[in-house]
């Protein structure tokens, strides 16, 4: 069995299930989703994406806190004994999966960008290594084989399973070591993971004040603002905006790279975008190797000209 663990039915879960079905169909494995949630919703969307949906519904899963999820996930895994366990490399997966791997005394490959399966049923887990300079393919010698996968690296395929069985498992109530005394939902700008258009800036934008034109343009095209690590380190933008190896992976329809050199660590987060437009004053900048359209010019003045052409006063 190949098991996907999630706490919600969202795009990431369906992407991962699509890949899980593709791999499992080759080995005749069953695909199961362990869904741990406070409410039973959007289940219709899962039909055809798994042989089994194992549902654990409990109020204690309303807000993510490790203890209740860990105890209950371990219980289900020990009962169903999957060969492979996958989860998205979101806060949920990145927190739960290492703790679960430790409980099961097995290995975990974090932040994979590609998965495959060989004839023996070994999961081939590929991820950037050595500062993003090589793509390493890792095979786990212990069982179960566990991996987290970056969101947006797999496409959503049409459902392939004839029947999806919904199984209810009774969760154990776990007295949490953390007490939630309240929380505030952060007012986010357009999320870069979901935007169709991203205007991403590098140090070639020259100064923080020039972000003004970037935000205006993003608003015009209903897009989001991304950044390189250099920009985040310079405190022009928060870490939420960082795209790349140690930031987010994005796959928008249009990616505008303004004043970005194109270091491998940045490319790891955006090179699968549909159309890449690069603006850099250095014609030999590596970003042009992945760009569909290249403009050798000052980034700020090009963005300003686009804005003016769109009708901004
Ligand atoms: P620079 O490399 O300084 O490039 C600026 C570019 O702007 C140059 O190409 C220059 O020609 C151009 N330019 C200058 N003036 C202008 C102008 N007026 N108009 C137009 N162009 C101009 N980086 C990330 O982005 N994301 C990551 O997740 C990430 N993770 C990393 C993880 C590790 C382990 C390591 C070691 C590094 C990581 N980095 C990451 C850093 C990465 O190696 C680069 O340092 C970074 O991406 C460079 O950012 P930049 O392109 O903004 O700056």
Say yes or no: CB of residue 150 within 6 Å of ligand 1.
no
ipTM above 0.85, yes or no: yes
Opening angle at CA 110, ends 234 and 15, nearest 5: 95
Close Cβ partners of 215 (under 8 Å, ≥ 6 residues apart): 225
Say yes or no: CB of residue 233 within 6 Å of ligand 1.
no
| 194-215 confidence digits (pLDDT tens) | 899 999 999 999 999 999 999 9
| 264-285 confidence digits (pLDDT tens) | 999 988 988 999 999 999 999 9
Say yes or no: CB of residue 281 within 6 Å of ligand 1.
yes
Close Cβ partners of 212 (under 8 Å, ≥ 6 residues apart): none
Long-range contacts of 73-77 (CB under 8 A, 24+ apart): 73/5, 73/34, 73/36, 73/100, 74/100, 74/103, 74/104, 75/169, 75/172, 76/34, 76/169, 77/3, 77/34, 77/104, 77/144
| 248-261 confidence digits (pLDDT tens) | 888 899 999 999 99
Burial-class residue 174 by CB neighbours within 10 Å (0-12, 13-18, 19+): middle
| 50-79 confidence digits (pLDDT tens) | 999 999 999 999 989 999 999 999 999 999
Return d(Cα 249, Cα 271) in angstroms, integer: 9
Banded model confidence at residue 184, pLDDT cuts 50, 70, 90:
confident
pLDDT of 118 reads: 94
Average pLDDT over residues 215-227: 94
Say yes or no: CB of residue 82 within 6 Å of ligand 1.
no
Banded model confidence at residue 187, pLDDT cuts 50, 70, 90:
low
The pTM score is 0.79
Q: Is 182 annotated as a binding residue?
A: no
The yes-or-no verdict on residue 179 having pLDDT over 90 is no
pLDDT of 256 reads: 98
Q: Which atom of ligand 1 is nearest to the CA of 203?
A: 52
Helix (H, G, I), strand (E, B) or coil at 30: coil
| 82-125 confidence digits (pLDDT tens) | 999 999 999 999 999 999 999 999 999 999 999 999 999 999 99
């Amino acid at each position: 069995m190949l098991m996907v663990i999630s706490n919600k039915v969202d795009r990431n879960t369906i992407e991962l299930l699509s890949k899980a079905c593709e791999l499992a169909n080759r080995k005749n494995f069953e695909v199961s989703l362990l869904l741990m949630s406070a409410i039973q919703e959007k289940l219709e969307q899962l039909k055809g994406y798994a042989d089994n949906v194992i549902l654990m519904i409990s109020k204690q899963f309303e807000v993510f806190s490790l203890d209740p999820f860990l105890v209950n996930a371990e219980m289900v895994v020990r009962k169903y004994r999957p060969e492979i366990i996958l989860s998205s490399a979101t806060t949920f997966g990145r927190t739960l999966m290492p703790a679960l791997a430790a409980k099961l005394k097995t290995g975990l490959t974090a932040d994979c960008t590609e998965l495959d399966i060989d004839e023996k049923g070994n999961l081939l887990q590929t991820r950037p290594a050595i500062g993003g300079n090589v793509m390493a393919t890792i095979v786990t010698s212990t069982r179960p084989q566990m991996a987290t996968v970056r969101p947006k690296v797999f496409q959503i395929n049409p459902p392939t399973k004839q029947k999806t069985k919904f199984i209810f498992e009774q969760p154990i109530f776990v007295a949490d070591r953390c007490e939630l005394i309240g929380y505030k939902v952060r007012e986010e700008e357009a999320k870069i993971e979901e935007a169709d258009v991203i205007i991403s800036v590098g140090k070639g934008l020259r100064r923080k004040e020039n972000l003004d034109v970037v935000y205006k343009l993003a608003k015009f095209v209903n897009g989001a603002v991304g950044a390189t690590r250099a920009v985040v380190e310079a405190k022009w933008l928060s870490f939420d905006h960082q795209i790349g190896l140690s930031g987010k992976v994005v796959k928008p329809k249009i990616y505008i790279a303004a004043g970005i050199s194109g270091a491998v660590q940045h490319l790891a987060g955006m090179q699968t975008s549909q159309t890449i437009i690069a603006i850099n004053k250095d014609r030999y900048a590596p970003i042009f190797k992945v760009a569909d359209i290249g403009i050798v010019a000052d980034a700020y003045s090009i963005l300003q000209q686009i804005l003016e052409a769109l009708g901004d006063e």
